Amino acid sequence: MSEHTQGIPDVDLSDFTSGDEEKKRNFVKKLSEAYENIGFVAVKNHGIDDELIEDLYEQVKCFFELPRDVKEKYEPKELAGQRGYVSFGREHAKNRSAGDLKEFWHFGQYVEDNDPISDEYPENLYVEEIPRFNMVGKKAYQSLENTGKIMLRAIALSLHLNEEWFDDKIHNGNSILRPIHYPPITEEPKDAVRAGEHEDINLITLLIGASADGLQVLNKKNEWVSVTALPGRIVVNVGDMLQRVTNKKLKSTTHRVINPPKELWGTSRYSIPFFLHPRSDMKLNCLESCITAENPKRFDDITAGEYLNERLAEIGLKK
């Protein structure tokens, strides 16, 4: 597939992990150029097992096929949507009032080393009706977290930082794995779309495929470009937290999921993004190396936890 066909640049993560220094440098260069220009890449040889991805999609479909009253057992309001089920239309894009045409589930961090940060996180909810749902979700979560860590090491080098600069900042971070179901559209949606135009809150997002087309990104010419989920690839994009840290050197690109043509309204769409977040105490202060006379400091200092709370309120998940 050419870059033009799939809409975003293609990179091979095995170049970074191969032990070949020239391949590693070329990967970092290509990644940096993509993230400065459009903020998205398609990644092959990403280390996430194809069978695990298939298994996860199978478990996710089983969950969303449960009766509504069963799913709503797993939507405790006090969790502000941070774990468990979030029902149809509850979330909306920033600056939009219409709820997105989707329902989703949240798997959160698994703290297994007695790190006191576990006190900050609610427990993951266990779905009694689907015995393998939680086990497969955990395995996928930890696999995606590991791939994200490697991607951030490449990003650190592109910023002339120590390769492991992000490691301690994301260890037991507040990351979220979000299986999403966009149900069939049964009536004229008016102003609502499957996911309104938005930027992601976190450091980077890893998207493992989608069961139907619909994802679009806004390029520098202000044109919406469709992104095709190629076989064997995951899509990895820059989030707002990384954009802040790099003083907008790396681009958090606006994207959306559009409604399908009317003849396909009767079809579902499934998508599973992993939102890689740091620990809440990470400072999102702009790196000094990214502040220049041509690019003065654009953002106030803030921690990741403070910023996340602001954004959750903006999208309707937190009061």
Asked whether residue 172 is domain-assigned, the answer is yes
Nearest CA among 298, 200, 196, 296 for reference residue 241 = 200
Asked whether residue 233 is domain-assigned, the answer is yes
Residue 130 half-sphere exposure, CB side, CA atoms within 13 Å? 24
Tell which wins on pLDDT, 134 or 265. Answer: 134
Determine the pLDDT at residue 6. 58
| Number of structural domains found in the chain | 1
Confidence of residue 1 (pLDDT cuts 50, 70, 90): very low
Asked whether residue 63 is domain-assigned, the answer is yes
Q: pLDDT tens, 148-183?
A: 999 999 999 999 999 999 999 999 999 999 999 988
Query: Which amino acid, one-letter code, is at 284?
Result: L
Asked whether residue 52 is domain-assigned, the answer is yes
Q: Is the pLDDT of residue 265 over 80?
A: no
Nearest CA among 215, 259, 211 for reference residue 236 = 215
Asked whether residue 127 is domain-assigned, the answer is yes
Give the β-pairing of 180-182 and 255-257: unpaired
Asked whether residue 243 is domain-assigned, the answer is yes
Residue 254 half-sphere exposure, CB side, CA atoms within 13 Å? 13
Tell which wins on pLDDT, 228 or 24. Answer: 24
Q: How far apart are CA 98 and CA 192, in angstroms?
A: 6
Asked whether residue 319 is domain-assigned, the answer is no
Confidence of residue 314 (pLDDT cuts 50, 70, 90): confident
* 84 strand-pairing partners: 106
Which domain, by its residues, includes 141? 3-314
Percentage, residues of the chain above pLDDT 90:
64
Find out whether 43 and 236 touch, Cβ atoms under 8 Å.
yes
Tell which wins on pLDDT, 179 or 194. Answer: 179
CATH of the domain at 114: 2.60.120.330
The length of the chain is 319
Torsion angles phi and psi, residue 50, rounded to 5: -60, -40
User: Cα–chain-centroid distance for residue 68?
Assistant: 26
Nearest CA among 304, 317, 311, 234 for reference residue 273 = 234
Tell which wins on pLDDT, 140 or 77. Answer: 140
Q: pLDDT tens, 203-247?
A: 999 998 754 467 788 878 888 888 776 788 899 999 999 999 999
Instruction: Tell me which residue has tokens 């798997």.
Output: 107
Asked whether residue 30 is domain-assigned, the answer is yes
